[in-house]
Chains A and B, each alone.
Chain A
Amino acid sequence: MKILIVDDSAFMRTMIKNVLKDGNHEIFEAGNFDEAVKAFKENKPALIFLDVIMPGKNGVETLKEIKNIDKEAHVVMCTSIGGQQKIIDESVSAGADDFIIKPFKAEDIQKVVNNIANPAK
């Protein structure tokens, strides 16, 4: 599966990438809005892990742009702020598929990937 990881933290990108490394996935990385949009257009990933809090345009703005390009894109928002209701509401309205709360476990990432890979299960 093609997976795009969008996070301004190189550490978080590495962490998710390492969880996914044994799954025969093709991984792409982006550190901000512009890189994310470019990587999405070029690679058409099946799943995007998208950090909510980024410098410049944040995750919700990035989500909206990606959904403008392809409304069927699967996007999972990653945030350390579970109580930030406004962002959750905006993300759900914009079409986010799921949320994972930082710090997350490897199983959380794998579960999301499995859900996208096997939508009927």
Chain B
Amino acid sequence: MEEKETGQKVKLTSLELDALKEMGNIGTGNAATSLSKFINKNVDMNFPETKFVHVSKFSETVGGPEKMVVGIYLQISGEVHGEAMFLFPEKGAYELIDLILSKPLGTTKRMDDMDKSAFMELSNILTGSFLNALGNMLEAKILPSVPHVAADMAQTLLDFILIKISKCADTLLYVKTGVNVEGHKIDGEFTVLFDQDSLKKIISKMHDKYGLESPGA
């Protein structure tokens, strides 16, 4: 079977790579469902763009190193270990806060304590539903840490996790999608990475649970 060089320090077959991408898509879809329930509005999700991105290209991928974003960062523990981050363009994040707090869109220009609290709650829900979907897929206990929320330039937020990233992988699994909340489009991006042992464990579970062909078969 064909093996793909993804930049991950673990070589993956094309089917394993597809399985990881689908994991990202399903997790994002479940997070969108939770968002819909949380804000009590219909949420449509666009077709997600899912790929592996080298860390050196990441800030470009999210719109440039100086782009202002609001990030939700958390650590993944339990049976697998890694890091995860949701990124929203600043405008989109503020619009989400308006929706959560039932304010007219465009009201929020910067986050006060109530806004931060609301966004933190949203973060818990999005990250929890994403990781819950992953846990169900893998039949594994996956636990999120308390998420951290920060508004800053994309590169600054990336630098925050670069040290952790370089220890486990050169690339991030990256999912970009847009949600449409009652006709209003909000873009969002999600990245996740696992350490090498965890990635091997995930692939092994995928083989055991779903009967994927073994590498080299």
Contact = CB atoms under 8 A, between A and B. Distances in A.
A10 B29 contact: no
Nearest to B14: A10
B17 to A, nearest CB: 9
Contact of B44 (A9, A10, A21, A86): A86
A120 B183 CA distance: 42
Contacts of A14: 15, 210-212
Nearest to B18: A11
Interface in B7-57: 14-15, 18-19, 21-22, 25-30, 32-37, 42-45, 47-48
Contacts of A84: 32-33, 36, 42-45
A23 to B, nearest CB: 14
Most buried by A among B22, B25, B32, B133: B22
Contact of B29 (A55, A80, A85, A86): A80
The prevalent SS among residues of B at the interface is helix
Contacts, number: 77
A80 B25 contact: yes
A110 interface: no
Give the contact-size bracket for chain A: 20 to 34
A54 interface: yes
Interface of A: 9-12, 14-15, 18, 21, 53-55, 58, 79-87, 102-103
Contacts of B102: none
Given A53-B45, A53-B47, A58-B47, A81 B32 contact: yes
Given A14-B15, A83-B36, 16 more contacts: A9-B25, A10-B18, A11-B19, A14-B212, A53-B25, A54-B47, A55-B47, A80-B26, A80-B28, A80-B30, A81-B43, A83-B32, A83-B33, A83-B34, A84-B32, A84-B44
Contacts of A15: 210
Nearest to B209: A15
B149 interface: no
B137 interface: yes
B133 A80 contact: yes
Contacts of B133: 80, 102-103
